[in-house]
Amino acid sequence: MMEHADALLPIDVPPPRPARRLAAVAIALMILGAALCALALRNQHDRSCFAVGWLWAFCFVVSISLGSLFFLALHYLTHSIWSVVVKRVADMLAASLWLTPVLFIPVALFVLFPNRFDLFPWLGDHGDHEIHVRREYLNAPFFLARGAACVLLWSAFAWHFVRRSVRQDRADAAKSLASLLRMRAVSAPFMLVFAVTLTAASVDWLMSLEPNWISTMFGVYIFAGFTVTGLATLALATVWLRATGRLPRSLVSDGRLYSFGGLMFAFVSFWGYIAFSQYMLTWYANLPEESFYMVERAGGRWLGVSVALALVRFAIPFLVLLPRRAKMSPRLLVATSLLLIGGQLLDLYWLIARPYHSAGPAIGWQEVGPLLFCVGLLGLFVAWFVSRYPMVAAGDPMMEMSRRFRET
């Protein structure tokens, strides 16, 4: 919190350089993933599993990028000082939202060809009179329009923030300042757009898979999970960039990691609070029209997934991150981040796959294919970004202030 009056040495910005190993691994994952996806398209059963897997992988990648975009907007909105030194990491992951319009295309195809993929139960005529959804909301054209609006708006906002941020690197002080003030001004309306689009997306892509179920908390639940995932990935990327010398250790000290740990701890607690409230209220009221969602996930082999979810997403990270020292330890932070990212995969699987695997959780190669492909694509994007842009936002007018900032 305290600031020193003495002058700081100029920052030594490591120039961008290619991340060949990451790119090679990413390409290998993509090729393997694409091959599995192609294999899965052959027959009806594999295609259905592929559709489930694609939705799973798509939502996972969106959670990383959108969580990072939220972090970035929050950074501007709150005039945050500590996070300026890691701003470019958030820029990088938020920019990966540009991939989402492409990744959304298969989801659109699932909706356009319901007989071939059989993903959304509200599509087509199943003769299931139990489904009493609002057809005026859940229909193919409106669904596609909403989805397209979401991914395009996210991409546009990511474009706005990231393009201005990288331009600051070369701009003069006055331009940089104007740019920063502009981003701050846009960050507030972005939050409104974010709340509406994230809720619409979570209802469409996740909640409507069991169209008879509703929970007014659902959007908040998804938001909590996305934010935790974004933060975990940011922390992971920051430690990686620091270890590979792209982010100077003088800029991001272990002490600076404390803020990541603190925020992560806060959002882990928030997720636990939201998940508990949603579950407890459903359980307590025990109304058949809504409790079935929890009942079917609390029986048989799905119970294990539900319990694991509570442990991985809340109990373990909460206890690990509670001590002050843990928040500053890069090793513990990486371990917790990996656990939380795994938790997001588990959570999305818990939300998506239950209707298709009522006997018990099962992950086949058909589901793994899309995941490998999407994660590979994200990795390739990261490799491209680090080879092109410096990882230190040296042109940010707040950089000096951020470097002087000390965790207390």
**132 forms part of the interface with other proteins (CB under 8 A):** yes
**11 forms part of the interface with other proteins (CB under 8 A):** no
CB nearer other proteins, residue 52 or residue 220: 220
Q: x/- contact string, 288-307, with other proteins (CB under 8 A)?
A: -x------------------
Q: To 5 degrees, how large is the angle CA 188–CA 65–CA 222?
A: 75
Least separation in angstroms between residue 174's CB and other proteins is: 8
Three-state DSSP state, 206 = coil
**176 forms part of the interface with other proteins (CB under 8 A):** yes
Among 139, 215, 253, 306, binds other proteins (CB under 8 A): 215
Output 1-10 pairs: Cβ under 8 A, ≥24 positions apart.
Answer: 1/405, 1/406, 1/408, 2/406, 2/408, 3/401, 3/404, 3/405, 3/406, 4/404, 8/400, 8/403, 8/404
Positive or negative torsion for Cα 62, 66, 67, 72: positive
Least separation in angstroms between residue 55's CB and other proteins is: 20
**216 forms part of the interface with other proteins (CB under 8 A):** yes
* Window of 34-42, 66-74, 159-167, 393-401 that interacts with other proteins by CB under 8 A: 393-401
**173 forms part of the interface with other proteins (CB under 8 A):** yes
**180 forms part of the interface with other proteins (CB under 8 A):** yes
Distance (Å, whole) CA 228 – CA 232? 6
**219 forms part of the interface with other proteins (CB under 8 A):** yes
Distance (Å, whole) CA 270 – CA 228? 9
Window 252 to 271, contacts with other proteins (CB under 8 A): 269
**285 forms part of the interface with other proteins (CB under 8 A):** yes
Tokens 């982010």 map to which residue? 247
Least separation in angstroms between residue 315's CB and other proteins is: 15
Nearest CA to 208 among 143, 285, 282, 283? 143
**165 forms part of the interface with other proteins (CB under 8 A):** no
Three-state DSSP state, 19 = coil
**195 forms part of the interface with other proteins (CB under 8 A):** yes
**What is the secondary structure of 318-377 as a DSSP string?**
HHHHSSTGGGG-HHHHHHHHHHHHHHHHHHHHHHHTGGG-SSS----HHHHHHHHHHHHH
**182 forms part of the interface with other proteins (CB under 8 A):** no
Q: Is 79 left (phi over 0), alpha (psi -120 to 50) or beta?
A: left
* Window of 209-217, 249-257, 330-338, 374-382 that interacts with other proteins by CB under 8 A: 209-217
Least separation in angstroms between residue 141's CB and other proteins is: 17
Neighbours of 266 (CB within 10 A): 14
**326 forms part of the interface with other proteins (CB under 8 A):** no
- The answer to whether 380 and 103 are in contact (CB under 8 A) is no
Write out the residues near other proteins by the rule CB under 8 A: 1-3, 79, 81, 132-134, 137, 173-174, 176-177, 180-181, 188, 191-192, 195, 199, 203, 214-220, 269, 273-274, 277-278, 281-282, 284-287, 289, 397-398, 400-401, 408
